[in-house]
Amino acid sequence: MEWYVEAGVDVLLEDEPIDRFLEKPPVPRKKATQVASSSTAERLAQKADNSPRPTATIRPQATMPDGAAVEMAKSIASKATTIEALKQALNEFDGCNLKRTAKSLVFADGNPSAKIMLIGEAPDKDEDIHGIPFAGRAGQLLDKQLAAIGLSRETVYITNVIPWRPPGNRTPTPQETEICRPFIERHIELINPDIILMLGGTSAKTLMKTNNGIMQLRGKWSEIRTENLTIKALSTLHPTYLLRQPLHKKLVWQDLLKLKQHLES
């Protein structure tokens, strides 16, 4: 079962549950023989029956990210003038393949009026189930980190670069990241924070438009530029990474102290 979960097979994809107890049992061999020996007249009558038969429901296929889909994402995101409008736009957007396998749109949590915006990477299993960023163990660790410098979910705003969970918690592809970029950049503009704290390599590299790793980027003040804004930013390690490498918590503590010092200055 763990292997299936790691592969992303952890939720049902059927629209409705199937009650196997209500399914008809297989036809006994004896009956099958009798049906096979039915008269020619009966077979001709069945063949002549042109009444419509139920067809299987075909789900629409999600679009794989490409240049056209990215341009469509830019156009849709730019038209959102409120946070709710942006969320609705993402709900209706079918241009990213990740939406096909995700359970929930993981949009945001916290205070939309906050001046500190935290941006993570992509939802994990717990976030996908609850529809809230940082909902599981990583979220509990993040809450403790925020509390250590006098912050909480009531005083910050939290979202992710990618709003849908990649299957098996894999790293988003560059194409998936590019198609979601217009939405996160518009999200930043609508919140208009004073400071952005980027959590993890995918977040930092996407927003800073660089290929440098998170160990090179963390703990250094930089700027995030969207089409209409330039915002001071700091990057640090993702809480999920710290659950696997707890010795690196000291690095995040150093980064958080820099954030606290800036807030108090």
| pLDDT digit string, tens, across residues 136-179 | 999 999 999 999 999 999 999 999 999 999 999 999 999 999 99
What is the predicted pLDDT for the residue at 69?
Answer: 85
Contact at 8 Å (CB) between 119 and 199? yes
Instruction: Measure the CA–CA gap between 241 and 199, rounded to whole angstroms.
Output: 10
Predicted structure pTM score: 0.76
- Worst-scoring range by mean pLDDT, 33-37, 83-87, 247-251? 33-37
What is the predicted pLDDT for the residue at 35?
Answer: 44
Whether the predicted pLDDT of 211 surpasses 90:
yes
Instruction: Measure the CA–CA gap between 180 and 74, rounded to whole angstroms.
Output: 9
- Worst-scoring range by mean pLDDT, 21-25, 43-47, 198-202, 241-245? 43-47
What is the predicted pLDDT for the residue at 57?
Answer: 39
What is the predicted pLDDT for the residue at 67?
Answer: 78
Q: What confidence tier does 59 reach under pLDDT thresholds 50, 70, 90? A: very low
Tell me the average pLDDT across 202-229.
95
Whether the predicted pLDDT of 253 surpasses 70:
yes
Tell me the average pLDDT across 214-223.
96
Instruction: Measure the CA–CA gap between 159 and 132, rounded to whole angstroms.
Output: 9
What is the predicted pLDDT for the residue at 31?
Answer: 47
Residues 68, 77, 128: CA angle, nearest 5 degrees? 95
DSSP symbols for 20-77: GGGSPPPPPHHHHHHHHT--HHHHHHHHH----------PPPPPPP-HHHHHHHHHHH
Question: What's the mean per-residue pLDDT of the chain?
Answer: 86
The CATH code that applies to domain 67-264 is 3.40.470.10
Q: Coil, helix or strand for 82?
A: coil
Strand order of the β-sheet with 230-236 is 108-110, 157-160, 116-120, 195-199, 230-236, 222-225
Q: Residue for token digits 């410098």? A: 149
Give start and end residues of each alpha helix (H) in the chain.
Answer: 2-6, 29-36, 40-48, 67-78, 83-92, 98-101, 125-130, 137-148, 174-191, 201-208, 214-217, 239-244, 249-264
3-54 confidence digits (pLDDT tens): 766 666 666 566 666 666 666 655 555 544 444 444 554 554 555 555 454 4
Of 232, 224, 234, 231, the C-alpha closest to 256 is: 234
